Amino acid sequence: MATSFAYFRTTLQALVCGCVLALTACATTPPPTGELATARQAVARASDADAEQYAAAELASAGSLLTQAQAAMADRRESEARDLALRAAALGDLAYARSRDASVRAELEQRRAEVADLRQRLRLEDAP
* CB 71 within 8 Å of CB 91: no
For the chain, the domain total comes to 1
Per-residue pLDDT of the chain (128 residues; tens, 9 = 90+): 555 555 556 665 666 666 556 555 555 678 888 999 999 999 999 999 989 998 999 999 999 999 999 999 999 999 999 999 999 999 999 999 999 999 999 999 999 999 999 999 888 877 66
Predicted TM-score of the model (pTM): 0.69
Is residue 16 situated within a structural domain? no
Is residue 10 situated within a structural domain? no
Going by C-alpha positions, the residue among 88, 87, 108, 102 that lies closest to residue 55 is 102
Q: What is the pLDDT of residue 42?
A: 95
Q: What is the pLDDT of residue 125?
A: 75
Is residue 109 situated within a structural domain? yes
Q: Which residue range is the domain that position 50 belongs to?
A: 32-126
What is the maximal distance between C-alpha atoms in the chain? 120
Is residue 71 situated within a structural domain? yes
Q: What is the pLDDT of residue 30?
A: 82
Is residue 45 situated within a structural domain? yes
